[in-house]
Structure 1
Amino acid sequence: MKLESVKLACFSPTGTTKAVVQGIAYGINPGTVELIDITTPDARKQPLQTSENELLVIGVPVYMGRVPALLNEWLNVIQAHNTPTVCVVVYGNRVYDDALLELKNTVTECGCIPVACAAYIGEHSFSNSETPTAEGRPDEDDLHHAEAFGQKIREKLQSVSSISQISDVNVPGTYPYGGVTELWTVDFIAVSDECSQCGTCAEVCPVGAADAENSRLIDIEKCITCCACIKSCPQNARSMKPGMVKDASVRLHTLYNQRKEPEFFI
């Protein structure tokens, strides 16, 4: 079958998921690529519409072994019509548990036809210079893998004349899904005197938890502990306070320091 275009849809507070789906698109090498970044709240107000004449590559990070709960509303109203779809999850070198199966099942119910699925590794949200976990990933090897995966997707689609000839893709996971979807409500971000009130933290926050006029104000009820504001601060004025998030970063660094590799299912 011939692809007219590729749509990339991703939620990527720290850029890791975005880098992976773009690497996959590079391997697919279509004529037209449209990036739909749903990281900001305003971007998630617009429902996604796709058709069977385009390929959808959708990527999300793994939160505690699951698809982030805040994406459920946007994912569940995707308007697809037998759209060939690639499901991608990106996790911080721990486990991806049922997240890939959850994403695959969710988009299938919206009219997507999964043709390939994959799990990639990205630097963990809690990773920092003192306790790094999967630092710098996706790295060059990961992106080469993503490109090769994209080439396999293209070859698979070119080998059939219609989407009806695509067989189901089996991925790891169990249903009912395990894991915890409720995120921590915790005051964990310290802001130093180096803060210049530039507003970058508010711009990158995917849930509007950082105040645009006073960066020291953080709505901990909204915060999803993605650490985008910490990693994006141009003055390095934001860091983790002592407490449960910092303790978790130490555990991750200690227990999950052995490199894991991407997996794909096609």
Structure 2
Amino acid sequence: MTCFQLIFSPTGGTERVAKALTETWPEVQTIDLSAQNFTAPAIPFSADDLVLIAMPAFEAMAPQPALDRLALLQGNGARCALAAVYGNRAVDNTLAQMEDYARNAGFQPIATVSAVAAHSLLPEFAAGRPDDADCQQLAVFGKQILEKFTSGSDTCPPIPGEHNCKEKRAGLIPTVNANCISCGLCAQECPVGAISYDNFTVTDPSKCITCMRCVSRCPVHARSVDAAIVAQVTDFLRARCSDRKENELLL
């Protein structure tokens, strides 16, 4: 038995959720699906392996680059848990998409987790999450998933959401202000290579998925999205994200 966690986590929230979920799993190997130059590792997954697949929910869906990278792997019957991480609004269709791609790649889902982390665009929503209480609960979830795996069960709970959804993009492209020191960190860290290495102020809108990694990683706060649009989105989310949502496990 080998344990793996496959993580797409541009701003770190999904990674923290995954770490809590796998706290009780033995010798977990990590595969970073958000690496800019991701290539499928030559790992012979097998039916004896337990895999956590963790992705954020963007615009009611899983990020297409994360799904595309998952599709490059060969699960070979490895059982998996699917974790969708959202900014305190809703998971929507994320888990259904993840199930489709996981099954097509040869993984067998046996559990799902819906978990809350700070909103990537507006971190005032679900600020500080996953917090200590979340991490304790997620560790219990992870232990329950491990127990189901060791029991030999391969049943899958009903997974909510619509399948075969079309990709949507927020269209909020971060721009650069005068604070930029041309360090190039944004271009190096962008999961999809949307930022030009020749001119760090240029972002390719056909590639950008508004994951906010460049904004969160910039050491001088030189990148941001349009303030007027942020204000509109904030008003929209305030009525939907203010009450604390709870994490959920389906076995």
Please indicate, yes or no, whether the TM-score normalized by the shorter chain is above 0.5.
yes
| Secondary structure of 1:89 counterpart | strand
The 8 Å contact of residues 21 and 140 in structure 2, kept in 1 or not, is answered as: yes
Matched, 1:34 2:34: no
* Counterparts in 2 of 1:54 and 1:220: CA distance versus 1, 3 Å: same
Query: What amino acid maps onto 2:97 in structure 1?
Result: E
Q: Deviation string for 1:88-125 (max 9, x for gaps)? A: 11111111112112212321232212121111111112
In the alignment of these two chains, the number of paired residues is 251
Distance 1:190 1:110 in 2: 36
Between the aligned residues of both structures, percent identity stands at: 29
Match of 2:101 in 1: 106
Q: Cα RMSD over matched residues?
A: 2.1
Query: What amino acid maps onto 2:126 in structure 1?
Result: A
| Secondary structure of 2:3 counterpart | strand
* Counterparts in 2 of 1:47 and 1:118: CA distance versus 1, 3 Å: farther
Structure 2 unaligned residues grouped into runs of 5+? none
Per mean C-alpha deviation after superposition, the further-off stretch among 212-221 and 140-149 is 212-221
Match of 1:61 in 2: 56
| Secondary structure of 1:27 counterpart | coil
Matched, 1:219 2:204: yes
The 8 Å contact of residues 126 and 249 in structure 1, kept in 2 or not, is answered as: no
Structure 1 unaligned residues grouped into runs of 5+? none
Distance 1:45 1:152 in 2: 29
Matched, 1:168 2:186: no
Matched, 1:239 2:215: no
Which of 126, 129, 136 is the equivalent residue of 1:144? 136
Q: Deviation string for 1:50-70 (max 9, x for gaps)? A: 111221111111122222222
The 8 Å contact of residues 93 and 162 in structure 2, kept in 1 or not, is answered as: yes
Task: Return the offset for 1:236.
Answer: 1.6
Distance 1:120 1:49 in 2: 29
Distance 2:174 2:107 in 1: 39
- After superposition, residues 82-93 of structure 1 pair within 5 angstroms as 82-93=77-88
Query: What amino acid maps onto 1:21 in structure 2?
Result: A
User: Structure 1 length as normaliser, TM-score?
Assistant: 0.85
The 8 Å contact of residues 50 and 83 in structure 1, kept in 2 or not, is answered as: yes
